[in-house]
Chain A
């Protein structure tokens, strides 16, 4: 059905989307790139062109940058570990025959739909508050000194909050993948007397490997730009300043646009490294 006529019609139909996305990608990115080579501090009225790589050097050599990269990596790795391992276990559990499976699924998936500012505030105040938080009550109930989560272990607290939001995503995707597993294969191995752990290790896990990779990559892309959770809990203090938050502070809070833009380019490069891997997997899937 692909005649010359329909081909040109298809091009016209595609054009708005392509042009819009092209503009959305190129215009701001080029502006950021230009700013990154300028001494641009609008609040002080400094607009000086062409400082070369000064901003990059200053951004990359500041201790804040190194710290923020480490914080980002710890945060992303921590959340990934919790959500992927938790997600596999939870998906295995939900795959079992249970009563009321639909309702349990709904309960488990719910946190994903909670907007980030709500979940951060609810956790910060109603759960992690050292006096009135639910966790403080729980700690006291067991005779322990309540833990002041957000000031004593702020990074871990944020990891917990974000993990709670993303665990449903990992669970749901892994559950979908498990359910596509050929049950005959499992039954056969069960009859052959393979113990549960072996069945999991040699049959279930290899089957899940692709879904796990997809979960890791997609989450990484979203997690690299965590913002709201930090914004309403610690504002980047106490060692919770990620690269995203650092750039936000440079650009909007202290209005050092040149420096922040150089940081922005670093963030773009970092995200692209992850993106390349994700694109490969998605691309392979297109051929089938």
Chain B
């Protein structure tokens, strides 16, 4: 809505929007700032905002105490593995539904979506039991498969909505010009599909990274990702605000950066194309 507004009005709305934006962002900002404070400064009364002796000691302590790098690696492996595995399964499925739609394509899509609605807690014990029986409790493999299955409907739906936007005429035109099937896929479809696949990958990596039901319930030590690493800070031991902040900052920083790149895709991905 590009309408002409007076500068005064624009100034007022700008101030209001910035104030609210900073207010909403403040908990994150405060966490990041606190992570550079000493434990003493972190609980200073009145609180100090910017002017304190910045230190990196909390990051060192957190790494020494709980081996942050191992949790980070688990998070990357689980989120990345489940996303890639999901794409391998989903791309052909979404592809065929978008380009060779049959009578039942819509029903299949709807049914896939309905599996996403199944509350995790309803199947908690069976999954737990199967993991134990297969010796997969506290293993990355089990979580990769489970998170892949949880997000598979979203992956298929996102890809489907992207693929459907690729006009079929362009394929026919290519074929008329004598493109073989291989050339068709390689030179026409792939370049057009890559942006959609990339944003699907990004959003699902974020969702898998932040998943905190299965990762908390099915891991103990070996496969525990950052969600569990942070949860281990829930019982305070003396002064720990600064260390908690350092641990939190390290857990959210990678995804915050990825997330900002994916905000447009977020709407499409999470509303299953119902809002564009």
Given known contacts A28-B127, A105-B263, A115-B212, A271 and B118 CB-to-CB distance under 8 angstroms? yes
- Asked whether, in the complex, the Cβ of A109 is within 8 Å of the Cβ of B2, the reply is no
Chain B residues whose CB sits within 8 angstroms of the CB of A103 once the complex forms: 21
CB distance from A249 to the nearest CB of B (A): 10
Please pick, from B93, B152, B228, B271, the residue contacting A13 in the complex, using a CB distance under 8 A: B93
Please list 13 pairs of residues, one from A and one from B, whose beta carbons are closer than 8 Å in the complex, sorted by A's number: A31-B123, A31-B126, A99-B10, A109-B266, A111-B28, A117-B231, A121-B234, A134-B30, A221-B116, A264-B119, A264-B122, A264-B125, A286-B110
In A254-283, the 8 Å CB interface with B consists of 257, 260-261, 264-265, 267-268, 270-272, 274-275, 278-279, 281-283
Is B56 located at the chain interface by the 8 A CB criterion?
no
- Asked whether, in the complex, the Cβ of A116 is within 8 Å of the Cβ of B210, the reply is yes
Chain B residues whose CB sits within 8 angstroms of the CB of A106 once the complex forms: 260, 263
Given known contacts A114-B252, A227-B212, A183 and B1 CB-to-CB distance under 8 angstroms? yes
Chain A residues whose CB sits within 8 angstroms of the CB of B251 once the complex forms: 115, 118
A-B contact count (CB 8 A): 320
- Asked whether, in the complex, the Cβ of A268 is within 8 Å of the Cβ of B122, the reply is yes
CA distance A28 to B127 in the complex (A): 6
CA distance A228 to B213 in the complex (A): 7
CA distance A272 to B111 in the complex (A): 12
Please pick, from B5, B45, B89, B92, the residue contacting A137 in the complex, using a CB distance under 8 A: B45
> Which A residues are closer than 8 A to B by beta carbons?
1-2, 6-7, 9-11, 13-14, 16-18, 20-21, 24-25, 27-29, 31-32, 35, 90, 93-101, 103-119, 121-127, 132, 134, 137, 141, 164, 167-169, 172-173, 176-177, 179-181, 183, 186-187, 210-211, 214, 218, 221, 224-225, 227-228, 231-233, 244, 247-248, 251-252, 257, 260-261, 264-265, 267-268, 270-272, 274-275, 278-279, 281-283, 285-286
- Asked whether, in the complex, the Cβ of B275 is within 8 Å of the Cβ of A214, the reply is yes
Please pick, from B93, B102, B108, B122, the residue contacting A265 in the complex, using a CB distance under 8 A: B122
Chain B residues whose CB sits within 8 angstroms of the CB of A13 once the complex forms: 92-93, 95-96
CA distance A117 to B228 in the complex (A): 8
- Asked whether, in the complex, the Cβ of A110 is within 8 Å of the Cβ of B24, the reply is yes
- Asked whether, in the complex, the Cβ of A123 is within 8 Å of the Cβ of B113, the reply is no
Chain B residues whose CB sits within 8 angstroms of the CB of A17 once the complex forms: 89-90, 92-93, 112, 152, 156
